[in-house]
Chain A
């Protein structure tokens, strides 16, 4: 019996080596967030070009950076970091660059997203999706005014103890800074002390920190208000929660995910083909309809589904400005790291 088991195990172990992928026009190795691109679109690309696409996933910008630094650089062709992470990767020399004439669809990039602070002139990246991060409130529990970040940081009675915040240093500290009206990468002692004290006081009213569960807690009622990405808020609404997404007057966080060309990409030409493919308005619309955020490509509008085009989460009121999260320099970052550790200790 034991021998049989061992034999089975041996055969089972050899099988992965027997199966081999078919290689026609080569391969493409994508490092991506899970379920951020519809499989049908990938299939379409594979059918059009004959390239074999594999997608590996990560669960946060920082985790992606960590694994690239620990040794995965050179295994992937493209990745999809957020705005501040593009800048960080640029500074660390993890990105390869391209010239606009290598991508015929380069002209489709929307002008307002062409010259971004984290990649001026778009030499390393293309826009993928953008959205905002603020908060949503369950209208069954609280019917008052929700136009201020005070809902999170100095909540009214009905919401105390029922608030979830994102478990992410960048977002929480950025929104906190916006609430207090202080700059994001400040080194001013008074301002930092104020931020530290305000967060500690606010924490007493928070039920939990959670990024994955941000949408779940609103639907299930564990939280009546919470920091959330606009797309998650739309999903919560679709699942029946009576939540309203807020665009606070103090400001909110705007983020953009971008597809970047990685240094030492094993299949650089195929990578450029893929990026070009995603700049086609029909394909960009397919991504947008799937992910329910906004695209950075012109001409997508006719192809968008009504639900996505008209969702309140994707249409901020005029005059409300969103801010990108800033990546601070080393000394400043140390101070913010200390504030976060202090908050969570």
Chain B
């Protein structure tokens, strides 16, 4: 019963000739409405900044230079590597990765649980997970602030239960940011995994049980390889938006440090008004993400079969 799960094998060419027509809407929509503006932005990253926002049509590498090289506060020291922005990137990557991990740890069991309920009940569970997202993210984040405060309900509950004696400072720390990011993106992990698990053939697991595998072995060696596309999809849908997020970091982390998202936002909507630099940071971010995505896609197609 080893069904091939990979899409690349032959027999999967059912829609081979239709490919162009199937992809036309995608190319039209994203190509016109996003690709062109993004290319425009990329061009912007090579232009000169106009004072207080905007661009002037002079080509220069000044924006990229600002990212990688520093010449001191007054611009007259010898050039050295600029660690400021690299640190900001690294910090955001870390935050996003931890948030993704958190979402995975809680999201996978949740998705599995829902997918193994009777078919009638499953939509109810799904909606239970997504209903909270009808409420605006800002409001929910503010509400989270309220809960995590030093004298908020969470600390009071923990003190009442005797778990801690003094309020735990959670707000304005990295932990609060993690919780916030997890809260923002959880369904993006649960829904794709659910879709993949629901398809899982439980006969496979029973076969494994017949071969004396215990439940955990079945999980790691039979289930996870099969539902891997769902897990990967979930991770992508959480990690990338989390990378550019700045609502949770700002409101819950105290906005004491720039994240990639707030750094870019400051360039376009803040006093710094440096559009080429904002565009350059975005280009660097997009390039990194694109490389990671392509590596993952290549691994997926090579490793499976």
Contacts and interface: CB of A to CB of B under 8 A. Distances in A.
B74 A69 contact: no
A170 B251 CA distance: 20
A20 interface: no
A310 interface: no
Given A192-B73, A203-B256, A221-B151, A167 B250 contact: yes
A154 B256 CA distance: 18
A210 B53 CA distance: 23
B84 interface: yes
B272 A337 contact: yes
B117 interface: no
B73 A210 contact: no
A213 B273 CA distance: 24
Given A222-B149, A333-B51, A169 B254 contact: no
A222 B87 contact: no
A210 B172 CA distance: 11
Interface string A53-87: 00000001011011001000000000000000000
Contact of B52 (A92, A168, A169): A92
Interface string B66-82: 00000001110000000
B274 interface: yes
B73 A339 contact: yes
A167 B265 CA distance: 13
A44 B52 CA distance: 37
A344 interface: yes
Contact of B257 (A92, A196, A338, A345): A345
B73 A209 contact: no
Interface string A331-345: 001110111111011
Interface in A289-345: 330, 333-335, 337-342, 344-345
Interface string B43-68: 00000000111100000000000000
Contacts of B258: 341, 344-345
B69 to A, nearest CB: 13
A333 B274 CA distance: 11
B268 interface: yes
A196 B73 CA distance: 10
B256 A335 contact: no
Interface residues of A, number: 38
B151 A193 contact: no
Interface of A (DSSP majority class): helix
B26 interface: no
Interface residues of B, number: 31
A341 B263 CA distance: 9
Interface of B (DSSP majority class): loop
B261 to A, nearest CB: 13
Contacts of A189: 74
Interface in B143-202: 145-146, 149-151, 171-172
B262 to A, nearest CB: 8
B101 interface: no
B148 to A, nearest CB: 10
Contacts of B268: 66
Contact of B51 (A210, A221, A330): A330
B88 interface: yes
B273 A66 contact: yes
A208 interface: yes
Interface string A84-99: 0000100010000000
Given A66-B269, A189-B74, A208 B172 contact: yes
Contact of A62 (B74, B88, B255, B269): B269
B171 A69 contact: no
A335 B269 contact: no
B150 A63 contact: no
B132 interface: no
Contacts of B53: 62, 65-66, 69
Nearest to B151: A221
A189 B257 CA distance: 25
Interface string A168-209: 111000000000000000000100110010000001001111
B183 to A, nearest CB: 18
Contact of B73 (A222, A333, A338): A338
* Leading 8 A-B pairs by shortest Cβ distance: A208-B254, A209-B255, A63-B269, A169-B271, A345-B84, A330-B51, A337-B272, A344-B258
Interface of A: 60, 62-63, 65-66, 69, 88, 92, 167-170, 189, 192-193, 196, 203, 206-210, 213, 220-222, 330, 333-335, 337-342, 344-345
Given A189-B74, A206-B256, A209-B255, 18 more contacts: A69-B54, A88-B52, A169-B271, A196-B73, A208-B172, A210-B250, A210-B251, A220-B146, A221-B150, A222-B149, A330-B51, A333-B51, A335-B73, A337-B271, A341-B272, A342-B73, A345-B84, A345-B87
13 contacts: A60-B269, A62-B53, A66-B53, A169-B272, A196-B73, A206-B256, A208-B255, A208-B256, A213-B251, A335-B73, A340-B271, A344-B257, A345-B258
